[in-house]
Amino acid sequence: MNHCTSFLMALLIATGLDLSALAAPITPTSDLQVIETLPASAASRAADRRLRQALLGSPRDAQKAVQLAGSLMAQAHELGDPRLAGQAMATLQAWSEPANAPGEVLLMQATVLQYLHDFDASAKLLEQLLAREPQRPQAWLTLATVRRVQGRYAASDLACAQLLEHGAALHGAACQAENAALRGEFDIARGRFERLLADRRLSRGTRNWLLTSLAELEQRAGRNEAADAAFEAALAAERETYALTAYADFLIDQGREREALALLREQPRTDGVLLRLAIAGARIKAPQAANDAREMRERIAQANLRPQAQSVHAREQAMFALWVDARPQHAVALARTNLAQQREPIDLLLLARAAAAAQQPAALQAADQLRKEIGLHDRRMDALL
């Protein structure tokens, strides 16, 4: 198992581009340029209320609209609630025509669409923005991430190269390393990440991001001890939500469910955390397992009342169907729906695992064929074929 998006995507949603990690400083081109979106807090929620009031009188104030949308997106990522992303998009509704929208608005709209899994629409907005304002590293990084999630590694490579060209040295190098790792160039990618991590000036958040990316690389390469060590180092740098749940996935894969439960039990019960508590608990029949499963099942039912919710949450619902409800045939159907939207390693692996459990060789073959088409190498899948 893995998390709902690549860590780079989560980083973009939660914090924006960490400019402190760039090799060369980036000078904002206007007062509206998004440099960083900070996580939500009680103070930021109060600020949100003030921004909403201000926007009622000035609905086309781009600076305030982007600031409010960015805060809502930080909360959406933190809580795993797509309704907040919908609110963020509504905040930007005054700019329905991309040609007339400020660059910062287009970037935020693309970020919201990417969070909602409308990757083609997100990429289209980013390409329109970059055609007129190519010196926007955050837009290139978002585009590289979107194309990677779609399994379009060559297109992602082009965006990574533009990151380097426009001064985002660390993010460009990490971007290239992640793509190399997905293609199976594990040693090359590992060396690149290690060189980046050798810089003692890295912020704790950046170090956590790089180490988590390295841990996931090692996991796909079948080097479980190295993956374990990298996850531990990532959490020592910063106990960030994505790294915690990604490590929990790894622990569950390794049959270390009790460690996964201990890791997550005190975390806020977001959908992602609750899903993993339910999976780990079900596997070892933990005392709280039935309650966690019941709560997650209720959340799924509630989410599916919203239009197109299942297509957005198909991955998580497939995981629940496979490992908690023991309905592998249903998991296969959900995993296929999910692959129509996103093609990260977990998405192909999930279909393969569900197909194996459901004894559906045609679905297993479909997962392997898609893996070959996009050029993904993952030794966890090798073990199923």
Whether 309 is in a domain gets the answer: yes
In the block, tokens 């297993």 appear at: 364
State the Cα–Cα distance between residues 153 and 147, nearest whole angstrom.
7
**Section 135-145 average pLDDT:** 96
Q: Alpha carbon of 187 to those of 56, 144, 184: distances in Å?
A: 54, 22, 9
Structural tokens at position 162:
């533009």
3-state secondary structure of 268: coil
Would you give the distance in Å from CA 308 to the centre of its chain? 19
Whether 157 is in a domain gets the answer: no
Whether 43 is in a domain gets the answer: no
Q: Alpha carbon of 204 to those of 89, 234, 290: distances in Å?
A: 31, 9, 37
* pTM score: 0.87
Whether 109 is in a domain gets the answer: no
Q: 13 CB contacts (<8 Å, ≥6 apart)?
A: 5, 73, 74, 76, 77, 111, 114, 115
Whether 12 is in a domain gets the answer: no
pLDDT per residue as tens digits for the range 257-280: 999 999 999 999 999 999 999 999
State the Cα–Cα distance between residues 105 and 60, nearest whole angstrom.
11
State the Cα–Cα distance between residues 176 and 156, nearest whole angstrom.
9
Q: 335 CB contacts (<8 Å, ≥6 apart)?
A: 314, 315, 318, 347, 350, 351, 354, 355
Whether 173 is in a domain gets the answer: no
Task: Please give the mean pLDDT across all residues of the chain.
Answer: 88
Whether 330 is in a domain gets the answer: yes
**Residue 358 sits in which domain range?**
304-385
User: What type of residue is 42?
Assistant: A
State the Cα–Cα distance between residues 247 and 228, nearest whole angstrom.
8
- Inter-residue contact 181 to 220 (CB < 8 Å): yes
Whether 333 is in a domain gets the answer: yes
**Section 133-150 average pLDDT:** 97
pLDDT band of residue 41 (cuts 50, 70, 90) is low
pLDDT per residue as tens digits for the range 335-368: 999 999 999 999 999 999 999 999 999 999 999 9
Task: Using the predicted structure, report yes or no on whether residue 377 has a pLDDT greater than 50.
Answer: yes
3-state secondary structure of 251: helix
- Structural domain count, the chain: 1
